[in-house]
Structure 1
Amino acid sequence: MKRAIVHMDMDTFFVSCERLQNRELKGIPLIIGGGDRGVVASCSYEARKFGVRSAMPMRMALRLCPDAKVVKGDYELYSRLSHLVTEVIQERVPVVEKASIDEFYLDLSGMDKFFGCYQWTKEISAAVTKETGLPISFALSTNKTVSKIGTGESKPVGKLEIKESEIKPFLNPLSVKKIPMVGDKTFQLLSRIGIRTIQTLSEVPVLVLQQMIGVNGKELWKKANGIDENPVVPYSERKSISTERTFSTDTMDLLELKRLISGMAEKLAYQLRQEKWLTSTIVIKIRYANFDTETKQHRVAYTSADHTLSRIALELFNKVYTRRMRLRLVGLRFTDLVHGNHQMNLFEDTEEQMNLYQTMDYLKNRFGADAVGRASGFDFGK
């Protein structure tokens, strides 16, 4: 059976959400991001014409486009609309993978016998726009890599079908940067030896690529040749990660309890980043000495940043711990997970914070998860 894989991506999702709330923002250069030391989370096509790009330092973006309107970003709005889009798609598609806050993979394999896959995909995208007011692009092909690249080439509000016989002609002239796993460093490495198009990359022997970039060489060669066997992984809102601590002696030492919660948040956030997850719901759990158990939760924009998760966890603890009674257990859980990278939480991050996470994760990967951490999460009494 031939595979039919669709990639759907919301067009400038954060910008579109803001324009849905405020029609005066339509048609003008718009940047979503933090303050002067922050970075661009998203920008409108009008701003992109000036060279503004996501993850660019705000100061640089405003130098390129000084007349742009800057909006900090609304966590709750983006999460709420993302969940609404997810519901619209899940109602109509048997197998859906939510790859990030604003993109989805759909497996329509075998559906041609009932209804043309391309026509069905068009109707799904139309339903998303009708029910949410948000624009969406898609591409249909035989695998995830080709459909994702196709979506990028079809934007804005694009609709593209790349049949099996058309994959190589479609991919060949494109820059190797269009392949999802090719970052700046890999692109620079390939460029230095004259590999700039996907066609040139596809003709390089696998062993040569493995010698150049390591174990990912074979996977890169396969993608350049339009080969990708990765399945669409059904999305589930129920996935979560958690940790809890039962005390040997009941306690009401607030300083120690908050230190513990901060440390829990940092370790869980590191796990999220390592496994490429983002969470949108934080749940704090406490159990009093008399075994009464209480929980409180809060929704946020999808993130894996421990400075955000730790702050909210502590706020929840302050709200849920209302009795002057000793505690026997404290727990923390992150749920409503989707696959994605930390770049989706750029609203309040500075360049320094982004660099800090990269450095801390590198040290943890090399020397162990407990090798480095925030002072608030360490137990100096040990």
Structure 2
Amino acid sequence: MRYSPEDLLRARTLGFLIPRPGTRPSPRMEDEELVSSESVGRILRAVGHRVHEVISVTRCISRRRVVLVRLVDDSFVLLKWPDEDIDVENNYETTMLGLLDEVALPPEIRAAIPRILAVDPQTRVVVVDAIPPCPSLHDLLGNERPVPEPYLRALARILASLHGVEVRGIRDGHHDRTLGPPVPRDTLVSTREYANGCGLDFDDYLRSMQELEPRFRELHDRWTPNSLIHFDLGGDNVLFPVAPSAGALPVRLIDWELAGFGDPMYDVGFLVGQLFLGEMRRVRFDVGATDWVSRIQANAHDFMSAYSKARSVSEEDVRRLVQYAGIALLVHSTVRLQQIGALGRIGHLCLHFGKRFVQHPDIVSMLLSDGRRRKGWVG
């Protein structure tokens, strides 16, 4: 059975499971031969890659089968197998990375985005250029200190450049990549959906989401798909391959499978949500502990001030990005509910703060910003 994008969206945000069709086991249970050095070498030879002698193959954490391959010349490539259960014909990442080759991005910005090197027509494996293993945003958010300012400024610069690309001409030929807000307009679940609710906390979670339905409708009405956006800037999809002082642009954005044309403030808000989530994962909320707030303020200010210098940001933009940050937190709480059957400490925090972000964006924007520098956010 094939599920529509709306079905998958409702399942993702309203906290119930859609049964996976077919009987194919998880990629983690597949025969190791499929991702062996010999198998990977055969694929690289089949697609005519210039180097196909493999030194090592490392599995990446992913729902689909993905491996990082180190080659004999010390270069790296990423091999991605198709998701045979859900998106058999999914070539979205290939399409979007191809589009980025067509637009006039500055070379240093284009270098921060992977390129499709080849696609094996027989196995439908996609070969993408890759970089050596390096720290991710998720890794840096686990440290005691704020994320280094040069990293956040470089990330903001890349996004502002991406969001500023003129898309009216290319968007007309790719209507299937026009995205909508990552929440449904209607939060009323059917009997079948309710029966597939996840875990003991499902009722509490669903009630909170249904209370937010008016805000979700507002976001749909204000959504303008006028920019290229990544749409999935989670902590593991933002890499920092060089030290901030090395002179090169120290950012790499990976996994463009969900990318398309959408509201640029969603990318910005999603990253603000990741900054908030990183602090919630690490900090102990002892009575009187406020240092986590100052770290979020520092990270958010560095990121937003750099973005607003490169691309104008209005008060309405800030309001939306805060709401999108809340949605990022809500989606994380859904994932926890689906994976472990309960929200747990982090899931409850994400639900609580995510709801507040969506309901009260003006108040939250003042909390996350440094009040003395608030005007620096808005162009």
TM-score with structure 1 setting the length: 0.25
Larger radius of gyration: 1
State the TM-score, normalizing by the size of structure 2: 0.25
